[in-house]
Structure 1
Amino acid sequence: MTKPNASLVTQGKPKVGGAVFKAPLGTALPTDATTALPEAWIQLGYVADSGVTNTISIESANQKAWGGDVVLNGQTSKTDEIKFKLIESLNPEVLKVVFGEDNVTGSLEDGITVHCKPLQTEAHSFVFDMIQKGGILKRLVVPEATVTAIGDIVYKDDEAVGYDLTMGAVPDESGDTHAEYIAKPAAGGGA
């Protein structure tokens, strides 16, 4: 029997240089925790200190036999959501995730215009890069996700303006709603 091992308990901190990235659907997905992302992956800046929350919900139904005994527990559905708050509210790429690619134009230098239309935003692929205890790298790769909820946008003098997003993941052709890769960095490699 294996004993508990405190060295296997960890936390997740954002990877230095960026932790949340988006890319158009069809972009090659990373298959490990250590390979640098190509330029197609756009970094979405700072995330609020609440971090990233992955919620996997499973619903099931019990089948009872005559007499009332439960004889089968069958899964009826599964959802995979990722929640995080992007706080670079002056970043056009962040605004495009929130409001849709075609609803955001311009740059901070020239002026940004955001149209808030009742259309569903585009699906993207997402990567979440973290550093865990001991420098262990963890990467969550979401092949396809869409914004399914936006929290209240608060404008006040003691809080960063941000977009509290819930993303709903959709299974890819292999059935994955997301993949997780965990690895020690190469000797001499930085995070």
Structure 2
Amino acid sequence: MTGETNNPQNVTIAKTKVSGYLWWAPYGTTLPTDSNTELDPAFKLGGFVGEDGVTNTTETETTEVKDMGGNTVMKMISSYAESYQFVLIEALRAESAKIRYGSDAVEGKDGQLTIKHKMPSGEALSIVIEVIMTGEKKDRIVIGNASRSEFGDRQFHSTDVVGYDVTMAANADTRLGDGVTSIEYIGIAAAAKTASVDTQEDQA
């Protein structure tokens, strides 16, 4: 025994920052390397995220090694993929639309937009997500090489907000480390508000 005990102060929920919590920039933009340094000016605010927050999903495939008698003697993970899903609910914000449709598909300014619906170009982005954990600790997630992988349906009616449901694949980026798909920095933050953000991991 080590003498250590469980600590409830390490149990946390996630809240949103007052100033925002999801930014994007063109791939190649300088990435933050801690939780506190200001973001490069190329990062643009993506606007409000819907009440279900951000869902972080991992997918793995396992290879089994058998002996000559058919007995499994080893299991190993043979592939790994990670993604982040969220719903952007500022449908009139230009930067939200660019995350969904591509920077080359959106023209105009907030509230006065022309959006070309077309096949995604494969454009690579960098995305930063920030939430506040218990004790005002800031959790900054950096996705260095993100690409659009899935889109949810959009509904237009009077009982629900219009939003952009986007899943971004987190691709390996050598700037973060060999084989690293995203990197997470936890530090100290100054201010938060009480809207919750649910970050889930679905381990296959």
d(CA) in 2 for partners of 1:143 and 1:58? 20
Deviation at 1:69, TM superposition (A): 2.6
Contact 1:98 1:121 in 2 (8 A): no
Aligned to 2:137: 136
If the length of structure 1 is used for normalisation, what is the TM-score? 0.92
Contact 2:151 2:165 in 1 (8 A): yes
Aligned to 1:39: 41
d(CA) in 1 for partners of 2:172 and 2:120? 22
Deviation at 1:34, TM superposition (A): 1.5
Q: 1:117-169 CA deviation, whole Å, 9 max, x = no partner? A: 12334110000001001101100000011111110101121211001111101
Q: 1:72-98 CA deviation, whole Å, 9 max, x = no partner? A: 212211010000000000011111111
Q: 1:26-57 CA deviation, whole Å, 9 max, x = no partner? A: 11110111122132110101000100011111
- Percent identity of paired positions between Structure 1 and Structure 2: 37
Number of aligned pairs? Answer: 187
TM-align CA RMSD? 1.5
Following superposition of structure 1 onto structure 2, how do residues 175-186 of structure 1 map, counting pairs within 5 Å?
Answer: 175-185=179-189
Q: Secondary structure at the match of 2:13?
A: coil
What amino acid does structure 2 have at the position aligned with 1:184?
Answer: I
Q: Which one is further off, 9-18 or 124-133? A: 9-18
Contact 1:99 1:121 in 2 (8 A): no
Following superposition of structure 1 onto structure 2, how do residues 54-65 of structure 1 map, counting pairs within 5 Å?
Answer: 54-65=56-67
Following superposition of structure 1 onto structure 2, how do residues 18-97 of structure 1 map, counting pairs within 5 Å?
Answer: 18-97=20-99
Q: Secondary structure at the match of 1:98?
A: helix
Q: Which has the higher contact order (CA 8 A, sep 6+)?
A: 2
What amino acid does structure 2 have at the position aligned with 1:159?
Answer: D
Contact 2:30 2:40 in 1 (8 A): no
Deviation at 1:105, TM superposition (A): 1.0
The answer to whether 1:167 aligns with 2:168 is yes
What amino acid does structure 2 have at the position aligned with 1:148?
Answer: S
Deviation at 1:108, TM superposition (A): 4.0
What amino acid does structure 1 have at the position aligned with 2:102?
Answer: G
Query: Cα distance 1:29–1:63, how it changes in 2: closer, same or farther (>3 A)?
Result: same
Runs of 4+ with >6 A deviation: none
Deviation at 1:103, TM superposition (A): 1.2
